[in-house]
Chain A
Amino acid sequence: MTALLTTEGLQMRFGGVVAVDGVSLAINEGELRCLIGPNGAGKSTFFKCLTGQYKPTAGRIFWRGKDITALDPFAIARLGVGIKTQVPSLFDGLTALEGVCLCRHSSEAEAKRRAMRALERLGIGALANRRVGLLAHGQRQLVELAMVVAPEPDLIILDEPTAGMSTEETNRAADLIRELNQQHAIVVVEHDMQFIRAIARTVTVFHQGRVLMEDSAATVFADPRVRDVYLGKAVA
């Protein structure tokens, strides 16, 4: 297996707060990876570094062996990295189709075809011509996911994609992520253990900006340290 994305000693410091503290991690081609960790562990900040929204204060990021640490977000996106951010980020004034059509592609017809396919794949083809700002929360999540999926990126980053979803919606999302994983590598942050069990192979646990452990879902959940971290206990 070849590494798609690797980080080396990635650090992101905000004044006195070290949100990401020397993270070295590798995501392989076609992998499905779960990131977990309590609130404030640095998961979102790590993603923002990966996608160029923050410039890490130390460490490096490689995409297929090429150093991309200094690239702008749009340049990283063009390499084939798509992200669904934790705080929904949509074009509220546009229709779902208009927004998803903005996936970069050579021809306009192709962009539209892919957009429609992405919407249908997520079961929201019927919402194509609805204004995104007027949609319900769960639907908006799906539209954002469609925007991320439509350009067919090699790596899809999902920051708490099921937040605010019903159990049924969450189950659907799990199916979907497994399906998407057949073509894309996926890194997903989730708090819902049920969900992680349903989709995960490898789980990486973040704690206070560091990687606490990385193993199969079963091993991770059996580890007492992980429980302690989630219960807010100090971990040696």
Chain B
Amino acid sequence: MTVNVRTALQIVAALIVAGLAAWLLPQYLELFTLINATVFVSMGLLALSLGLIWGFGGILCFGQTAFFGIGGYTYAVAAINFGDTTWAVPLALLVPTAVAAALGYLMFFGRISDVYMGVITLTTTLILFKFANSTAGDQWTIGTAPLGGFNGIPGTPPLNFPLDPSNQLAPEQVFVVAVLALGICYAVAKLILRTRFGRVAVAIKENELRAELLGYDVRLHKLGLFAIGGFMAGLAGILFANCVFVSPTMFSLSYAGQVIIWVLVGGIGTLVGPVIGCMLIQALTTYAGTLSAIDPNLLLGVLFMLAVVVVPKGLLPTATTILLRLMRRGEP
């Protein structure tokens, strides 16, 4: 791995922003707003996971929410059964990663084309949505955790300090964990892209045939990246479960579609872009939700269409281009 100055600066900047947010926001935001902010952050991580595999691996995944939901559900079920979240967390990271690896294996080693990949991943999350919705009866209980059908698992336990179940994290602390998780995942994703594995993954996105003819196993690289995306989406699901609770909505078409919009609006081929896109759009739709005059979904649709027409490359790449142009004009 060769980390250049630019990557190092980006990582440091991201960690500083995350650190500042973790330190300052809990002091100034009201509890309700802070919990909402935690939801935003968990969604930001979900957007980051899709931004990574789509923007850098060219993997068209329309059902990233599958791993988000699986992470959340695994966490909730395991935490209720164990009565402690210490081991629920690694399990809830392992399961979505493994599911992503298995699904990826079928898709990449089956040499499925991009369009079908989109369809298969979307179908996966919708099947999970259907399934989760159908688990209302008592027979749908794993250990001591009832899956609860469309109600989900309202009693999803919040994180506790390691091996200390009686000592649960306060919402402020959950926020800190979420922000740091997002910051660290961003840094890790940046570093992965600087490794040989990451650079080959990007090369594959550029030209699959050429990468293969240079001796790289395209399928294995895509599988690896897809599993990493599954891991991050699973982590996002755990965080989400901590501030809301798990329910079939996590798998829903509406969520699956929103993530795609965040990534497209924020900018494909960047990592910060999808996170910014996610935060901005969520803030806007939440705000619109408080006004009874505007339907948030309608607003989301309009925003998306505007973004596609006005900034087809996404907010961040467009902003960077404009900034560079302005700076150049400033030079004598």
Contact = CB atoms under 8 A, between A and B. Distances in A.
Contacts of A72: 212, 217
Contacts of A73: 212-213
Contacts of B217: 72, 74
Nearest to B207: A91
A104 B207 contact: no
Interface string B213-235: 11111100000000000000000
B39 interface: no
A133 B216 CA distance: 22
Interface in A67-83: 72-74, 77-78, 82-83
B199 interface: yes
A102 interface: yes
Interface stretch (A18-26, A92-100, A208-216, A221-229): A92-100
B213 A51 contact: yes
B203 A94 contact: yes
Contact of B211 (A78, A83, A102, A151): A102
A99 B191 CA distance: 19
Interface residues of A, number: 24
Interface in A44-79: 51, 53, 72-74, 77-78
B214 A104 contact: yes
A72 B216 CA distance: 10
Nearest to A77: B215
A108 interface: yes
A18 B189 CA distance: 48
A77 B216 CA distance: 8
Contact of B210 (A90, A98, A151): A90
Contact of A89 (B2, B200, B210, B216): B210
A151 B215 contact: yes
| Residue of A90, A102, A104 most packed against chain B (CB within 10 A) | A102
B214 A93 contact: no
Interface string A95-124: 000110011100010000000000000000
Interface string B175-211: 0000000000000000000001001101100110111
B219 to A, nearest CB: 9
A103 B203 CA distance: 11
Interface in A135-174: 147, 151
A234 to B, nearest CB: 36
Given A90-B207, A91-B206, A94-B206, A74 B218 contact: yes
Contacts of A92: 206-207
Contacts of A78: 215
Contact of B213 (A85, A94, A99): A85
A4 B147 CA distance: 62
Contacts of B210: 89-91, 147
Nearest to A111: B196
Contacts of A99: 203
Nearest to A99: B203
A99 B206 CA distance: 10
B117 to A, nearest CB: 20
A151 B215 CA distance: 10
Nearest to B208: A89
Nearest to B2: A108
Contacts of A94: 202-203, 206
Contacts of A147: 210, 214
B203 A102 contact: yes
A91 B1 CA distance: 20
Nearest to B216: A74
Contacts of B203: 91, 94, 99, 102
A85 B207 CA distance: 13
Given A102-B199, A108-B2, A74 B212 contact: yes
A92 B199 CA distance: 14
Given A53-B213, A102-B211, A102-B214, 12 more contacts: A72-B217, A77-B213, A77-B214, A85-B213, A91-B206, A93-B206, A94-B202, A99-B203, A102-B199, A147-B210, A147-B214, A151-B214
11 contacts: A77-B214, A85-B209, A85-B213, A89-B207, A89-B213, A91-B207, A91-B210, A94-B202, A103-B214, A108-B1, A108-B2
List the 5 closest A-B pairs by CB distance, nearest first: A77-B215, A91-B206, A89-B210, A78-B215, A73-B212
